[in-house]
Amino acid sequence: MSKAIVIHKPGGPEALAYEERELPPPGPGEARVRHKAVGINYIDIYHRSGLYPVATPFTPGSEAAGVVEAVGEGVDHLRLGDHVCYIGPIGSYAEERNIPADMLIPVPEDISLEVAAASILKGLTVCYLLEMTAEPKPGETIVFHSAAGGVGQIAVQWAKSLGLRVIGTVGSTEKAAAAKGLGCDEVIDIRANPDFASKVRELTGGKGVGVVYDSVGRDTFEASLGCLRPRGLMVSFGNSSGPASLPNVGLLMSKGSLYLTRPTLFHYFVDRASSIAGSERLWDKLRSGAVSINIGQTWPLAEAGKAHAALAGRQTKGSTLLMP
């Protein structure tokens, strides 16, 4: 028997029930992984709340790292004891699980399982945002919202390694200092400066920026469009303040013939080969020191509800882990 978090009905943090369950042996093409660390991401809150509907009951979580304990029939690329990590399918809030073996990404010996769990989803998110969705050139300026958050901290460092000028936004004086320490050239506290688009214009000599990366959603969406130069790109990749909406597609024209995309990681890393290639980009950034992972807080698996409340309340710094 092993323990897992189970959601029987969408709701608040109290919907995360800590329960005992029995796992069958891994089936054909599967492997059993005993988790050493489980990553928490904002999408977990969307699943828990019902914003992104999932059939119940289910175990949430899309990111973890651990050790291979058993393999099913037909799995010949894994050995017992291998260190691995993965992104999706949901179900990582558990001590152990069975998962399709082709979804497992090898973790090199020089990368800890805790770092892998804290960075694989966020790191691949940053990889596709900066190097695949848009390809800003060295010397260009970008705006990255929530620069002190889990994705933001990796993104700022990665962007600086590409030679970009980064304007980061945050929600407090404390987070502003953290973002500056990560390498942001300029930091805007959007709670103190809600008209952040004007500040971005000021910092760019009135020109605006080529790309805005917005994971906040409803509260920042329209102002983010105001940060862009003509024919700039708005990358909306999250909804931490609620879903964003475009009241009139003509707004893109009136603000400068802007481009808008709403990407998702799984359209960029579509199979084992592309996921491993992306992970190698991440491992290289970690090895070189260009990117370091700040595990800001951990909770026992049983206290996943407390972790969700802290994340939703913007009380976390860097990455957050659950420890089975």
Give domain limits for the chain: 2-120+268-323, 138-262
Question: Would 2-120+268-323 and 138-262 be classified into the same CATH topology?
Answer: no
Strands 30-39, 165-170: pairing is: unpaired
- 125: buried, middle or exposed (CB in 10 Å: 19+, 13-18, 0-12)? buried
Could you tell me which residues come within 8 angstroms of residue 306 by beta carbon, excluding any fewer than 6 positions away? 13, 299
Q: What is this structure's pTM?
A: 0.90
Pick the CATH number of 2-120+268-323 from 3.40.1160.10, 3.90.180.10, 1.10.10.10, 3.40.50.20: 3.90.180.10
Using 50, 70 and 90 to split pLDDT, how confident is the model at 188? very high
Q: 191: which 2 tokens? A: 């709670």
pLDDT at 203 over 90: yes
Using 50, 70 and 90 to split pLDDT, how confident is the model at 40? very high
- Report d(CA 123, CA 136) in Å as an integer: 18
Mean pLDDT of the chain: 95
Mean pLDDT to the nearest integer, 272-294? 96
pLDDT at 5 over 90: yes
Name the CATH topology of 138-262: Rossmann fold (3.40.50)
* 254: helix, strand or coil: helix
Using 50, 70 and 90 to split pLDDT, how confident is the model at 54? very high
pLDDT confidence of residue 241: 77
Mean pLDDT to the nearest integer, 165-177? 94
pLDDT at 243 over 90: no
